[in-house]
């Protein structure tokens, strides 16, 4: 699906987003799912969600980092290609965490027991680290938190 939309600022403070045609977005979700891959102006693929709003809009949330990579600002018109995200977790799986889970079956079982949104949160936290060393540190930290049930304030 090809989308041409202005980058808008969310009045509720959620950050920049793209507005999509509601009916077109609903048909896409009904056929595939809400998890999507966006091919942006910089040529890189992003894992995102197509979100249906109660106010009759469908949106794709972006971030300031994405706008910087796209060399865009609020108000710019962008063209993106949207395709279904068929990956298992709805985003890339950091290699560092994969290695940690292979070596720690208890952490792997705890990770698999989480809901998809919590899994993506863990993966995003690890993957957002800029250096390999930081990703390894975060992967080990998340494995311990999963095993000790201290992830997201669990007790």
- Listed by start position, the domains of the chain span 2-84, 95-153
2-84 maps to which CATH number? 2.40.30
Lowest mean pLDDT among 6-15, 45-54, 125-134, 135-144: 6-15
3-state SS, residue 5: strand
Residue 15 pLDDT class (50, 70, 90 cuts): confident
In this predicted model, what pLDDT tens digit does every residue of 77-114 receive, in sequence order? 999 999 999 988 888 899 999 999 999 999 999 999 99
Cα separation, 73 vs 142, whole angstroms: 34
Q: What percent of the chain has a predicted confidence (pLDDT) above 90?
A: 77
Question: In angstroms, how far is CA 97 from the centroid of its own chain?
Answer: 17
The region, left, alpha or beta by phi > 0 then psi within -120 to 50, assigned to residue 153 is left
pLDDT over 80 (residue 6): yes
Cα separation, 143 vs 24, whole angstroms: 40
Q: What is the predicted pLDDT for the residue at 54?
A: 86
Average pLDDT, the chain: 92
Q: What is the predicted pLDDT for the residue at 106?
A: 97
Question: How confident is the model over 52-73, as a mean pLDDT?
Answer: 91
Question: How confident is the model over 128-152, as a mean pLDDT?
Answer: 94
pLDDT over 80 (residue 11): no
Q: What is the predicted pLDDT for the residue at 91?
A: 87
This prediction has a pTM of 0.77
């Amino acid at each position: 699906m090809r989308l041409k939309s202005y980058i808008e600022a969310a009045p509720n403070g959620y950050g920049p987003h793209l507005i999509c045609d509601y009916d077109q977005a609903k048909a896409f979700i009904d056929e595939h799912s809400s998890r999507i891959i966006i091919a942006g102006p910089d040529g890189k693929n992003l894992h995102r969600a197509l979100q249906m709003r109660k106010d009759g809009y469908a949106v794709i949330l972006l971030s300031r980092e994405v706008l910087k990579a796209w060399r865009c600002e609020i108000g710019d018109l962008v063209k993106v290609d949207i395709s279904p995200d068929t990956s298992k977790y709805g985003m890339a799986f950091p290699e560092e965490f994969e290695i940690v889970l292979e070596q720690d079956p208890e952490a792997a079982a705890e990770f698999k027991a989480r809901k998809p949104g919590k899994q993506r949160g863990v993966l995003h936290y690890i993957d957002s680290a800029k250096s390999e060393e930081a990703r390894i540190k975060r992967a080990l930290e998340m494995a311990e938190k999963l095993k000790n049930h201290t992830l997201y304030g669990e007790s």
